[in-house]
Amino acid sequence: MTPRVLIVVQNLPVPFDRRVWLEAQTLRDGGYDVTVICPTGHGTRRGRSVIDGITVHAYPPYAPGGGALGYVLEYAWSFLATDRLVRRARRAGRFAVMQACNPPDIFAAIARRLWRRDGTRFVFDHHDLCPELFRSRWPGRGGLALRGLELLERATFHTADHVISTNESYAALARSRGGKQPERVTVVRTGPDPVRLRPVAPDPELRRGRRHLAAYVGVMGPQDGVDVVLAAADHLVHTLGRTDIAFELMGSGDCHEQLIAERDRRGLQEFVHLPGRVSDDYLATALSTADVGLSPDPLNPLNDLSTMNKTMEYLAFALPVVAFDLVETRVSAGDCAVYADPRAADPVVAYAEALAALVDDEEGRAVMGKRGRERVEQQLAWEHQAPAYLAVYDHLCGITGRA
């Protein structure tokens, strides 16, 4: 009988969540019957559908906002909606393995119920450090909310038969803080797809009359550093008189409207474009037109240990990167980036100066971009991560002899 696998993800729908969709496709190609439960959005409709041979059950998300209470309500709704769809999907037969992707860490109870009923094994796909996320978004705060996140993380680690970590820093925490044995932790990096993410024809119009273009793509939350880009642009334009650089900041999030207001307050409308979330075609054209990719994630407990998807995507588009010198950012980008000191007296000025120096080094940019693309093709691409991921499932399901 074909083993059934259930993947649960709360913060993004599939196929938009590229890591989860690559995982689902890898399992499908490996002979597993894959079901994904996720919220609707980005073309994923409510109810049951089959996409490329993968069954998807999607529920409408609920995100009321309003601080800690808003998160509690959002996660309670997601848990109940997910639990209902798990019960519905179970009617087609037992699941051999359930995989939960965080954030948040709320699905261990569902995994325990499936184990008691069917012996379903549980894989924790560890995408984020939720306690560190809290400390980074609300420095100095703790109390009941932080303790609750720590308890949920502990329960998830305790329940997991196996933990899949996105990098070595996360794997070390799974072994230490999570108490997992080394043989129950596997590093599977979020590798970009070099076939889908590759340079295309540039569009000079995106430079808006400037000589150079600096691009950002990703989430725009309090911990993502897009405000640093605006402050750095302000320094370049109004202090150093650099009017030759245009900025294309693509993406959305909690701070998008605030960032637009901040751009306007700083008088950067002619230099900074904030189009919000864009299509894949627009994104590919913008990154193929840009001279540098921006990874402005500031130093905090979360960012220092996290692998940034945007950094990997810049490398796939042969873009050299400007980043702060963080542990896992350096692991990802290596010598394909220039690094600003996050502990400098003024990190914004340090970032602006690193950006200016890279923009002015045309030969260096070309060399770094070429190395970055090669790094993706030879080391970081999903095809190099997929075998380790599939091996976890084969081991849990007792499948042997795969070539």
Residue type, 284: A
List the chain residues with pLDDT less than 70.
Answer: 66-67, 403
DSSP strand E in 218-271: where? 245-250
Residue type, 313: E
- The CATH 3.40.50.2000 portion of the chain extends over 4-191+382-397, 204-380
Q: Could you give phi then psi for residue 39, rounded to 5 degrees?
A: -75, 165
Q: 61-110: per-residue pLDDT in tens? A: 987 776 677 888 999 999 999 999 999 999 999 999 999 999 999 999 99
Q: Which fold has domain 4-191+382-397?
A: Rossmann fold (3.40.50)
Q: Where are the alpha helices (DSSP H) in 325-381?
A: 327-333, 347-360, 362-375
What lies within 8 Å, CB to CB, of 333 at 6+ separation is 295, 311, 315, 321, 323, 372
Handedness of CA 271, 274, 275, 279 (dihedral sign): positive
- What is the SS3 assignment for 50? strand
Q: 76-85: per-residue pLDDT in tens? A: 999 999 999 9
Q: Which fold has domain 204-380?
A: Rossmann fold (3.40.50)
190, exposed or middle or buried, with CB in 10 Å at 0-12, 13-18, 19+? buried
Residue type, 86: V
Q: Which of these, 66, 9, 57, lies nearest to 35 by C-alpha position?
A: 57
Instruction: Write out the DSSP string of 296-340.
Output: -PPSSTTGGG---HHHHHHHHTT--EEEE--HHHHHHHGGGEEEE
pLDDT recorded at residue 403: 63
For residue 306, the cross-strand partners are none
- How many Å apart are CA 157 and CA 168, to the nearest integer? 16
Three-state secondary structure along 272-299? Answer: EEEEECCCHHHHHHHHHHCCEEEECCCC
Quote the tokens at residue 66. Answer: 């309003």
Cα of first residue to Cα of last residue in the chain, in angstroms, is 20
pLDDT recorded at residue 114: 97
Neighbours of 213 (CB within 10 A): 23
Cis previous bond, 104, omega within 30? yes
Residue 396: CA atoms inside 13 Å, Cβ hemisphere, count?
31
Task: Confirm if 314 and 287 have CB atoms less than 8 A apart.
Answer: yes
Quote the tokens at residue 323. Answer: 């980043």
Q: In whole angstroms, how far apart are CA 68 and each of 146, 258, 342, 365?
A: 11, 20, 29, 43
pLDDT recorded at residue 66: 63
Cα 275–Cα 326–Cα 126 angle in degrees, nearest 5: 80
Task: Confirm if 102 and 127 have CB atoms less than 8 A apart.
Answer: yes
61, exposed or middle or buried, with CB in 10 Å at 0-12, 13-18, 19+? middle
Angle between helix axes 347-360 and 362-375 (nearest 10 degrees) is: 100
pLDDT recorded at residue 254: 84
Task: Confirm if 342 and 164 have CB atoms less than 8 A apart.
Answer: no
What lies within 8 Å, CB to CB, of 12 at 6+ separation is 20, 38, 39, 41, 42
For residue 249, the cross-strand partners are 216
Tokens 């905090």 belong to 300
Q: Could you give phi then psi for residue 126, rounded to 5 degrees?
A: -85, 95
For 318: left if phi > 0, alpha if psi spans -120 to 50, otherwise beta; the answer is left
